[in-house]
Structure 1
Amino acid sequence: MNGFFEQHGEMALFLAIALGHLVGRLRLGPVELGGVCGTLLMALLIGQLGVRVDPDLKSIFFALFIFALGYTGGPQFFANIRSGWRFGMLSLIEVFTVLALVLGAAVLLQLNAGAASGLLAGAATESAVIGTASEAVSRLGLSAGETQALQGQIATAYSITYLFGLVTIVVFTSQIAPLLVGIDLRSAAGALARKLGEGAAEDQPALPELVGRSFRAGRAGGMSVSAFEAEADHAVTVVRIGRLGEQSEPSPATVIGAEDELLLVGRREAIIAAAGRLGPELVGRDIDLPVTSRDYVLSQRSVAGRTLAEIRRLAPLDLRRGVFIARLQRLGRDMPLLPEVVLQSGDVVRLFGPERAVSRAGGVLGRAVPADDKTDFIMLGTGVLTGALLGLAGVQLGGIHLTLGVGGGCLLSGLVFGWYASRHAATGVLPASAAQILKDFGLSAFIACVGFSAGPEAFDLVREYGIWLPLAGILTALVPAAVSLFVGHKLLKIELPFLLGAIAGQQCSTPAISSLVNTAGNSTPVVGYTVTYAISNVLLPLLGPIVVGLVFHLV
């Protein structure tokens, strides 16, 4: 078996990814281990058989992952740097507190550069740190054996502290923090939803259902289409009128006849309310809705920074007539569709309505997401190459040579390319689905390569530090969260659901925000989460080389 995997490292790679994601599905209450940590554990075990992969392959996987990470987060990162300063302060608290705690643990426990950066990656649940720190270790000028040993300790320390950091942040945000401030999270989230939604009920779904139903005009006969829609506050649109066996698309000036068949599209509750002013519903008819849905990446400056209510109020009637927002996504997560939610550059807005109306309104928001999902490999290749060149730059700081490395360079390159692409429809794009594959597979494959290279000596770390390393992981996750809770609640006066979401985001913890949404009963915590997640996803990986340099030269 040893010889087989030594000759077929590609098989070992895919075996580790498959088994790792299978193990990653295991749940401990609300906490799921996750495919990345599962892959690392499987790679560490399979790596005991002597599996080795080309170091260049590992670098390629990481470059693709970190570029895609920056690309998808670029628009929100720059938007939040400008406008999300209250939440951004929490990400800075995370970065400086974690750095101080990791350096303190390195001194007290006598951690080397590998173990210290692994503690940073695991306790902060930021897997990208493994890549930036491993690359920094390779530039320390050590022998091949010493470099491999330190990189192995990064992986082992990460695998030990990740689970403890993950459980800590999930339990703290969803259970402990509300008790500390003396506020019921579900009640606070319901009150915040009502504030944002002008009377939205606590248990109301975040995305109201859009439906089409057909009625006899009845009492609406004699009214113009525009007058009928105005009485429904334009939450209902007459998209088709049937008269004398003929179907037509009405204009706002069209006068409705009492015997006309009206095909209405709108929010379910609005159509139910409008039904009281119409004749009987025409059930049993096959309804062919003359509507479409299309996603747009928000890039227009005149729209970014405005609430949904402001956009609806300011947009001319002919622009918004018949068009509904069916979905709002930020950093891949659904945002609550409430009137006071603020749109940001890079948001993906799904419009629903007649084809011409959707195209007209979408052009005001930004560019349409291509339906063919084709990746522009010119843009991808140029972006990664630019990042690699940026990674060659370095500075001398107190005798320590600090460089961005391929990881840091590709992260910054991805941010800029993603931001630029969100504003220029003619430029090449990296579709969300393609970016997600690059992130998921690139990180999993990179982590597997790290686990293989760790070698049998990696487990020496477990025997050397015992319980102290997990305890350091718990404190490194808990202290920044507690400090942010105090600052956010007492000083910045951030609403609790937003604040707890922001704390989950500063830790880059997807399981924490999922648990928070379930506990809160609505998606209001996501508003705070996306801000700090975008910022911390950039700053935390850049800490990897800093920790390696400081611990190696000074501790």
Structure 2
Amino acid sequence: MSFIAQPVVALFVSLALGHLIGKIRIGSVAVGGVCGTLFVALAIGQLGVTISPDLKNVAFALFIYALGFTAGPQFFNNIRGGWRYGILSFVEVITVLLLLAAAIVLFGLDAGTASGLFAGSATESAVLGTASEAMTRLALPAAEITRLQGNMATAYSITYLFGLVAIVVFTTQIGPLLLGIDVREASAALARELGAEDDTAKENGVPQIVSRGFRAGAIGGTSVGAFENSVSGAVTVTLVGRGGNFEKATTETMLEADDIVLVIGRRRAVIAISERLGAEVPLPVGANVPLVEREVVLTRREVRGRRIRDLRRLASAEQRRGVFISRIRRLGQSIPALPGTILEQGDILTLYGTDGAITRAGPELGHLLSPNAATDFVMLGLGIVAGLLLGELSLKIGALNLTLGTGGGALVSGLVFGWLHMHRPQGGAIPSEAAAFMKDFGLATFIAAVGLSVGPDAFALLKQYGLVLPVLSVLVSALPALASLYIGRYLLKIEGPILLGAIAGQHCSTPSISALVSLAGNSIPVIGYTVTYAISNVLLPLMGPVVVAMAGLIG
């Protein structure tokens, strides 16, 4: 056992076994690697293993900065323009704080237990970092602070699973029942309103964007540009074949009835315009135009809040030719790339078409991403240092000493640097894969360090509260969701599937949105999820010090 008791060995054993345990499923819900890591770390911690606080602080700074950096582009945009969904994040915070205040008064919860209950019930692990740091600033002996942090870790490990199951069950079972909807049917109806193609095509794996060859037929005698304008740019003629030779088409190219035209567009649009053309013909080998994909960050203000179909009306005939939006990522989640989908600043659009068309259209939307981007460690270091300095600032109001702390400062700094990078992508890059690693490894390492340093005394909390904590975790998880359900339905008039997605997002629950998307059969619920997720991912961690202060004042 002495080998496992070595700090480095204990850390990586906790990560490995914890993520293995995290794969265990209860129904459709997985325990998760973070919670699994804490379970293993708590067990190994009974051997008296200690991890340097410096490692814990570095890991949390990496995690919280990367969290802010990836959320920055969407956070500021959603605060400004996504209030219809974003208000549910504020409902979550206010309701949870009221419930915690009641629990502190009724059950005498200390700052550590209250913080752990908050983090576990809201399934927001970042709260552990901001709350833990706030405890170190309390005017208490070191041993008492260690005890509070141990209570926090133990309370989190108890309540996380109950909070997770509660929100998954609510969004997939209870919520639809109270709304009186079938999630799959309602999501399919919304998708059709946004311009989705029939579900049979998706089930059979038919691509949404296709290229076909036709005889020009009835459109002979007109120009390529005139034909494309007559169908509102829904399709593009990329090649024209005449006498066995194929040439690149331009808007001025005049067509003849016997010409072969290579048409590219969304499958439904190509099928619709085929009635205006001659017979479909196979293309000779080598006649196809190479098509590529490139990602672009949407930054143009005029486009924000517009539907995809509106982009073709805004662009000139030449700008829109031969390029289509095949996928959209928002906060790492895929949302439907349908004609009626509303675009937001910070969206990452996958453009599909000819290389020349994408090179021409990309700068009109935002900044084309380099496929070989590397992490800018200069800006990464400066960003984290700026956050740490910001966290040292404090504001004294009476007996309260308000400060963001290291976690809050790094989070705010990450938000700002992420927003700046969206508008100035030449510097400060953190590729999405690198940011994901920083978040996953940073949080898992921090959680492992917390669990290992808790010590044997933490399990006294189990004897003290018994079943109180699991019951409280279900209430603190479900009641804010219930409040948001009725506010979203009757006051904000949000469509059912999108509302359920927004509730999963206000809870920062990735398992919930995964289960909901599976139930819906499409990604419509993600439209609401990304807005509330971006806001709650910032608000909830910032509430960690508030819970600690609240427990000290009324506990």
The TM-score normalised by the length of structure 2 is: 0.94
Q: CA deviation at 1:246?
A: 4.0
Cα separation, 2, equivalents of 1:70 and 1:242 = 52
Partner of 1:309: 309
Cα separation, 2, equivalents of 1:175 and 1:400 = 42
Q: CA deviation at 1:429?
A: 1.5
Partner of 1:323: 323
Cα separation, 2, equivalents of 1:490 and 1:414 = 36
Partner of 2:240: 241
Is the contact between residue 63 and residue 410 of structure 1 (CA under 8 Å) also seen in structure 2?
yes
- Structure 1 runs of 4+ aligned residues shifted over 6 Å read none
SS of residue in 2 equivalent to 1:425: coil
Greater CA drift, 67-76 or 133-142: 133-142
Cα separation, 2, equivalents of 1:456 and 1:309 = 61
Alpha-carbon displacement from aligned partner over 1:55-90 (angstroms, at most 9, x marks no partner): 011000000100110111111111111111122221
Cα separation, 2, equivalents of 1:435 and 1:452 = 25
Partner of 1:62: 60
Alignment length (residue pairs):
552
SS of residue in 1 equivalent to 2:127: helix
Q: CA deviation at 1:518?
A: 1.9
Is the contact between residue 233 and residue 312 of structure 2 (CA under 8 Å) also seen in structure 1?
no
Is the contact between residue 300 and residue 423 of structure 1 (CA under 8 Å) also seen in structure 2?
no
Cα separation, 2, equivalents of 1:203 and 1:394 = 59
Cα separation, 1, equivalents of 2:538 and 2:435 = 16
Cα separation, 1, equivalents of 2:257 and 2:282 = 14
Partner of 1:117: 115
Describe the shift of the 1:269–1:286 C-alpha distance in structure 2 as closer, same or farther (beyond 3 A): farther
Describe the shift of the 1:227–1:389 C-alpha distance in structure 2 as closer, same or farther (beyond 3 A): same
SS of residue in 2 equivalent to 1:100: helix
Is the contact between residue 191 and residue 202 of structure 1 (CA under 8 Å) also seen in structure 2?
no
**Correspondence 1:209-220 to 2 at 5 A:** 209-215=208-214, 217=216
Greater CA drift, 67-76 or 187-196: 187-196
Cα separation, 2, equivalents of 1:411 and 1:224 = 55
Q: CA deviation at 1:103?
A: 2.0
Is the contact between residue 125 and residue 507 of structure 1 (CA under 8 Å) also seen in structure 2?
yes
Cα separation, 2, equivalents of 1:309 and 1:283 = 29
Partner of 2:255: 256
Partner of 2:125: 127
Describe the shift of the 1:204–1:155 C-alpha distance in structure 2 as closer, same or farther (beyond 3 A): farther
Alpha-carbon displacement from aligned partner over 1:194-239 (angstroms, at most 9, x marks no partner): 3332x75577759962233445556655543234434554332222
SS of residue in 1 equivalent to 2:102: helix
Query: 168, 176, 195: which is aligned to 2:193?
Result: 195
Q: CA deviation at 1:512?
A: 1.0
Q: Does 1:396 align with 2:393?
A: no
Cα separation, 1, equivalents of 2:470 and 2:514 = 24
Alpha-carbon displacement from aligned partner over 1:411-465 (angstroms, at most 9, x marks no partner): 0001111111111233322121111111111111111111111112222212221
Greater CA drift, 176-185 or 506-515: 176-185
Cα separation, 2, equivalents of 1:417 and 1:268 = 40
Describe the shift of the 1:203–1:402 C-alpha distance in structure 2 as closer, same or farther (beyond 3 A): farther
Is the contact between residue 215 and residue 280 of structure 2 (CA under 8 Å) also seen in structure 1?
yes
Partner of 1:429: 429
**Correspondence 1:388-537 to 2 at 5 A:** 388-537=388-537
Greater CA drift, 164-173 or 22-31: 22-31
Partner of 2:546: 546
Alpha-carbon displacement from aligned partner over 1:523-555 (angstroms, at most 9, x marks no partner): 221111111111111010011111112213431
Q: Name the amino acid aligned to 1:189.
A: S
Greater CA drift, 368-377 or 175-184: 175-184
Cα separation, 2, equivalents of 1:418 and 1:157 = 33
**Correspondence 1:65-104 to 2 at 5 A:** 65-104=63-102
**Correspondence 1:4-403 to 2 at 5 A:** 4-7=3-6, 9-197=7-195, 201=198, 205=202, 209-215=208-214, 217=216, 221-230=220-229, 232-244=231-243, 246-257=245-256, 260-276=259-275, 277-282=277-282, 285=285, 288-403=288-403
SS of residue in 1 equivalent to 2:436: helix
SS of residue in 1 equivalent to 2:423: coil
Q: CA deviation at 1:370?
A: 1.8
Cα separation, 2, equivalents of 1:280 and 1:69 = 51
Q: Name the amino acid aligned to 1:26.
A: I
Describe the shift of the 1:247–1:210 C-alpha distance in structure 2 as closer, same or farther (beyond 3 A): same
Describe the shift of the 1:367–1:468 C-alpha distance in structure 2 as closer, same or farther (beyond 3 A): same
SS of residue in 1 equivalent to 2:338: coil
Is the contact between residue 190 and residue 203 of structure 1 (CA under 8 Å) also seen in structure 2?
no
Unaligned runs of 5+ in 2: none
Is the contact between residue 219 and residue 279 of structure 1 (CA under 8 Å) also seen in structure 2?
no
Is the contact between residue 297 and residue 367 of structure 1 (CA under 8 Å) also seen in structure 2?
yes
Unaligned runs of 5+ in 1: none
SS of residue in 1 equivalent to 2:339: coil
Q: Name the amino acid aligned to 1:423.
A: H
Is the contact between residue 3 and residue 9 of structure 2 (CA under 8 Å) also seen in structure 1?
no
Q: CA deviation at 1:25?
A: 1.3
Alpha-carbon displacement from aligned partner over 1:123-152 (angstroms, at most 9, x marks no partner): 001010011111111111333322222112
Describe the shift of the 1:74–1:205 C-alpha distance in structure 2 as closer, same or farther (beyond 3 A): farther
User: Matched residues, percent identical?
Assistant: 54
Is the contact between residue 194 and residue 202 of structure 1 (CA under 8 Å) also seen in structure 2?
no
Is the contact between residue 197 and residue 268 of structure 2 (CA under 8 Å) also seen in structure 1?
no
Cα separation, 1, equivalents of 2:249 and 2:199 = 37
Describe the shift of the 1:273–1:89 C-alpha distance in structure 2 as closer, same or farther (beyond 3 A): closer
SS of residue in 2 equivalent to 1:320: coil
Q: CA deviation at 1:243?
A: 4.2
Is the contact between residue 87 and residue 532 of structure 1 (CA under 8 Å) also seen in structure 2?
yes
Q: CA deviation at 1:334?
A: 0.8
Is the contact between residue 90 and residue 484 of structure 1 (CA under 8 Å) also seen in structure 2?
yes
Q: CA deviation at 1:357?
A: 1.5
Greater CA drift, 114-123 or 37-46: 37-46
Cα separation, 1, equivalents of 2:394 and 2:207 = 51
Alpha-carbon displacement from aligned partner over 1:25-57 (angstroms, at most 9, x marks no partner): 111122111111111111112222222211011
Cα separation, 1, equivalents of 2:268 and 2:179 = 37
Q: Name the amino acid aligned to 1:541.
A: P
Describe the shift of the 1:437–1:287 C-alpha distance in structure 2 as closer, same or farther (beyond 3 A): farther
Is the contact between residue 104 and residue 554 of structure 2 (CA under 8 Å) also seen in structure 1?
no
